[in-house]
Structure 1
């Protein structure tokens, strides 16, 4: 197949790119490195030249925090919506949208809401669409993974409040496998939550990272949420992952039923222990 892949130089997109090439697909990568600025691709007409001869589209563009030149509205909503409409105009039927867990009726941050807005545009179009909603994605090259590993390796692990927030990390290989499955299955127009085998607490996640690195369990230090939120107002400029909205999303939890994904893949996704062995 000839596949247009946006975000091909990102963490998830890079893994998808390599998997598509290994599978023998021809990939049209859409990144700044390939001369395409996603922030300028805000009309269907802008996408038409890139869709010639394309059989399927995968949108993996995503940012975790806004900058002066990159906004959630442009990258998560306007550009993807224009791309999806261009697919209708050119007859490209199969579209895979990589959204985010939490981009649903309960979305409450600009990140989630912008993803949800694009998802809704896609769902209303006459396309063979898939909306994939990954939880926290980890694996080689992931920025969040690197930050969590640094936290886990500290002599005393700092926690946000109690550290009992529920998360369900999914290995990037399972995200890639889900994308590839979307390209081959007959039934479409599906929303799939892409999560790890089982939920765990935030503190258990950090201790597991530590154990995988060959270190013994560490003492933990509970930092009041109010202090974390106050610090995040400043730290977000140094570490975008520490934006207050991201802290709020962590507090809210990030889990889903794994069985629909397991049925879609024909197997269970990796457990955290299995996934960390792949890194």
Structure 2
């Protein structure tokens, strides 16, 4: 078959192109820019074309089927939901019907048509879905849950969030999702293109398991080879405000609609993935083991065991030395004078010194014996607290040429480096703690089509 794939350079489109070509189909790639050495058609839904104009183009480059994978997560100055999701595709679909194209597969979005959900994103998708269903040709609409895999913008954002040492959660992170790998979505689309009978149906797709948002991020973190993180629940009003602020930044993933869709959940009412694939789809752990996550910003730090030990030893020495020298020589070290400047004089100063030294000894010992994300978070807070207290009560230290407070900046950098380099804790059997990556029974390994 000869198939036009619109949005061929995106996450879903590129996977569909590979899947179709692997099965011997001839593919015409529809994209906004020419692709050297490949059969292409200029497809830019922001530019209006009449159905008759599309029909002429499709007669000049005849195709048997069209797969529309074009989509944006949020509008921008150059792209709008109305044109990219609704008017542009509808013009193409109507032109395809005039040109005699046999079948169209439309990649829509999960949640289209759901009661009480009328975000601009879903509303624009539904307009194209409804227009396609009214045309005199064969069609299928796929409404997938979150799609992850190579080139996925949302997956890149989730992988970046998962790689942070402190991970912010919307609420308690209990929003329900059912991610599906882009390779398996592409496989389902290919099977629909090849289907011998009449389609004319919409299908909701997802992976094999329903996950919470927090569990999904844990899968990304495990696939990145990272250890435990600190999970920080944030009130939903704060998350919504953050998303609105993010709309002003040069990014195309996080916005108010994104948060509303996440709150709604992304779980198919009837998961058609197994029926379309002829098998159970692979788990997210398995999918991420086949195609590693691609964060927008890679924050992973890799330290050899020897270097990790050396850096932890130097940090531990700082904590232990400051505690022991203060206890051993409280007058000569000047610690009591500093505490007096901070308002702790006499017995109060001694009590605060002992408490501070106890904290420092604990931090130093644990850095050597039992490093953990919580320990590094506590050290980070301690350095900030000590520095802020000294700077407020003894401002002359901020301009001292020896930099007694400025030197805390590289100390903070070292704490963050060790924090980011934390690996999963070894299991009793010698393996590393990780999310199990074996596919469900009946599933076959993912592969690049």
Q: TM (normalized to structure 1)?
A: 0.95
Deviation per CA, 1:154-202: give whole Å up to 9, x if none. Answer: 1111101110000111100111011101112223111111211111000
| 2:212 aligned residue | 201
Q: Which residue of 2 aligns with 1:126?
A: 136
Q: Compare the two structures and name the one with the higher strand fraction.
A: 1
Alignment of 1:60 with 2:72, yes or no, is: no
> RMSD over aligned Cα, in angstroms?
1.4
1:164 is aligned, of 158, 170, 174, to 174
Confirm or deny that 1:180 pairs with 2:177.
no
Q: SS state of the match for residue 241, structure 1?
A: coil
Deviations 1:28-68 (A, max 9, x none): 22211134422114421231233122100111100001011
Contact 2:106 2:140 in 1 (8 A): yes
**Secondary structure, aligned partner of 2:143:** strand
**251, 266, 269: which one aligns with 1:254:** 266
What's 2:20 paired with? Answer: 20
Paired residue secondary structure (1:158): strand
Choose 195-204 or 211-220, whichever is displaced more: 211-220
User: Which of 221, 225, 236 is 1:210 aligned to?
Assistant: 221
- Are the aligned partners of 1:31 and 1:38 in contact in 2 as well (CA < 8 Å)? no
Pairwise CA distance, 1:236: 1.7
Higher mean alpha-carbon deviation, 234-243 vs 268-277, is at 234-243
3-state SS of the aligned residue for 1:27? strand
Look up the match of 1:230.
241
Unaligned runs of 5+ in 1: none
Q: Is the 8 A contact 1:168 1:255 kept in 2?
A: yes
Aligned mates of 1:13, 1:7 — CA distance in 2:
5
Measure the CA separation in 2 of the matches of 1:58 and 1:240.
23
Closer, same or farther: CA 247–42 of 1 in aligned 2, 3 Å: farther
Q: 1:39 aligns with which of 37, 46, 56?
A: 46
2:142 partner SS = strand
**Alpha-carbon displacement from aligned partner over 1:198-234 (angstroms, at most 9, x marks no partner):** 1100001111111122222322001111111112222
Partner of 1:76: 85
Kindly state the Cα deviation for residue 2 of structure 1 after the two structures are TM-superposed: 1.0
CA–CA distance in structure 2, aligned partners of residues 87 and 135 of structure 1:
27
Shift of 1:240: 2.7
CA positional deviation for 1:264: 2.3
Q: Secondary structure at the match of 2:46?
A: helix
Structure 1 residues 206 and 105: CA distance shift in structure 2, 3 A: closer
- Counterpart selection for 1:242 from 242, 247, 254: 254
User: In structure 2, how many angstroms separate the alpha carbons of the residues matched to 1:243 and 1:223?
Assistant: 16
Structure 2: give runs of 5+ residues left out of the alignment.
35-41, 292-449
SS at match of 1:38: coil
- Report 1:68-107 matches (<5 A): 68-106=77-115, 107=117
Stretch moving more, 16-25 or 133-142: 16-25
Shift of 1:84: 1.1
| Structure 1 contact 195–258 (Cα < 8 Å) conserved | no
2:203 counterpart residue number: 192
2:74 counterpart SS class: coil
For structure 1, which segment, 1-10 or 207-216, has the greater mean C-alpha deviation from structure 2 after superposition?
Answer: 207-216
Q: Which residue does the alignment assign to 2:9? A: 9
Q: Which runs of 4+ in 1 moved over 6 A?
A: none
